[in-house]
Amino acid sequence: MILILTTHGDHSTDQTIDWLTHYKAKYQRININDLLVDQTISYKIDSTQDEFTINNKSSKDFTVIWFRKSGVFRSSYLMLKSKSILKDQLSSFLSFEYAAFVQSLKISFKNVTWLCDIESVEALDKTKQLILASKAGLDIPKSLITNDKNCAAEFVKKLNGKSIIKPLAESEIFNAGDAKYSISPKLLTQIFFKALKTKKFLPSLIQEYLDKDIELRIFFLDGDCYAMAIFSQLDNQTKIDYRNYNFDKPNRYVPYALPTTVIENLKCFMRDVGLNTGSIDMIKTKCGRMVFLEVNPKGQYDMLSNPCNYFLEEKIAKSLINKLN
């Protein structure tokens, strides 16, 4: 049987499940954010055995696991309530508890085939990605992680003043009442460093600014690449980051045929990071460079499947079914 680890309300999961039903495959869906609502997990451990059950089904029944999403525990009512009681003390404790539980999930499954291996996902960080991508033959942006103003200024100068600063972990949007603050890639200039008063700061990632022709989003599945070109350069609002969505005139999203060498390099890279699926971001520059930016193992593939008519939901269902045999 197939086990799907996901969250409540994930549309992409719903659609893939429709195809699993269509092909009469047996599956069990578990919404990790519903652990506080209606899902039952039990993990019995004693001197003779350890037995893990999910909604009364033994973990031994599951031979294929799709790790779709790890849950939005942060916004669960328990978390929100804890914030109002003991500020961050309680909520950070709960986060650690939750992380420890996810850790124990991993151990409880033996001899399963993963679609999106949980271990590989957790071992993935930006620097590791860049190093392995480069080893796999992919072009990557020149990058620097530093906490030092002079170091950074020097680097930016070498790049002819054009560079970008972006979060080492994830981009975020913070809500404060009606105001929204977003932490997303921003252009850096040398003037920025002149104005900067402090000499040291939290280690930050600086990368060369790539003069985009188009952005590429690639969904990788079992060695196949489904690519889409995003014409974000046509629109000033989305020049640096296409997520600054323009609702009146959405960017053009069209299918793209990757050069075979890039496909081979991507296959090699994905094998090295231990992933059989993920959403890959790349940029094609004006001078024709194809630059790898990052892979997101749990990216929203429907933003690619729908405009390109790729039927990725069906392909994922078929991939899961194939893994059963």
Partner 1 sequence: MANSYINLFACCLIVKGNRRSTLVDIQRGTFIFLPLNISDLLLTSRSITIGQIFSSYSVEDADEISKYFDYLIENEYAFYTMNPESFPLLSLDWKTPHHITNAIIDYDSGSRYNIVDAISQLEHLGCAVVQIRFYSRVGLEFLLQTLNGISKGSGRIRSLELILCFNEEISKEQYRKLIKKFPRVIKITVHNSPFQYKYQFPDSINEIEYINQHIKDETHCGFVSPEYFRANKYFFTESQTFNSCLNRKISIDKFGEIKNCPAMQIGYGNIATMSLMEVSQQSHFQDVWNINKDKIDICSDCEFRYLCTDCRAFTQDPHNRYSKPLKCKYDPYTMVWS
Nearest distance from residue 303's CB to partner 1, in Å?
12
Looking at the Cβ atoms of 52 and 253, the one nearer to partner 1 is 253
220 contact partners, CB below 8 Å, separation of at least 6:
226, 266, 270, 275, 276, 277, 278, 279, 280, 295
Looking at the Cβ atoms of 223 and 255, the one nearer to partner 1 is 255
The encoded tokens of residue 144 equal 């620097």
Sign of CA dihedral 148, 149, 152, 158: negative
Nearest distance from residue 175's CB to partner 1, in Å?
14
Looking at the Cβ atoms of 37 and 234, the one nearer to partner 1 is 234
Looking at the Cβ atoms of 49 and 175, the one nearer to partner 1 is 175
Nearest distance from residue 21's CB to partner 1, in Å?
7
**Helix crossing, 88-108 with 77-86: angle to 10°?**
140
Looking at the Cβ atoms of 121 and 308, the one nearer to partner 1 is 308
Nearest distance from residue 198's CB to partner 1, in Å?
41
Nearest distance from residue 208's CB to partner 1, in Å?
24
Burial level of 153, CB count in 10 A (0-12/13-18/19+)? middle
Looking at the Cβ atoms of 21 and 40, the one nearer to partner 1 is 21
Q: Residue 187 — left, alpha, or beta (φ > 0 → left; ψ -120 to 50 → alpha)?
A: beta
The binding site for partner 1 (CB under 8 A) comprises 18-19, 21-22, 229, 231, 234, 249-250, 252-257, 306-311, 314
Q: CA–CA separation, 85 vs 52, rounded Å? A: 33
Q: CA–CA separation, 202 vs 322, rounded Å? A: 46
Nearest distance from residue 74's CB to partner 1, in Å?
21
Neighbours of 48 (CB within 10 A): 6
Nearest distance from residue 89's CB to partner 1, in Å?
33
Which residue from 132, 195, 134, 126 is spatially nearest to 166, judged by alpha carbons? 126
Q: Residue 116 — left, alpha, or beta (φ > 0 → left; ψ -120 to 50 → alpha)?
A: left
Looking at the Cβ atoms of 114 and 253, the one nearer to partner 1 is 253
Rounded to an integer, what is the distance from CA 122 to the centroid of its chain? 11
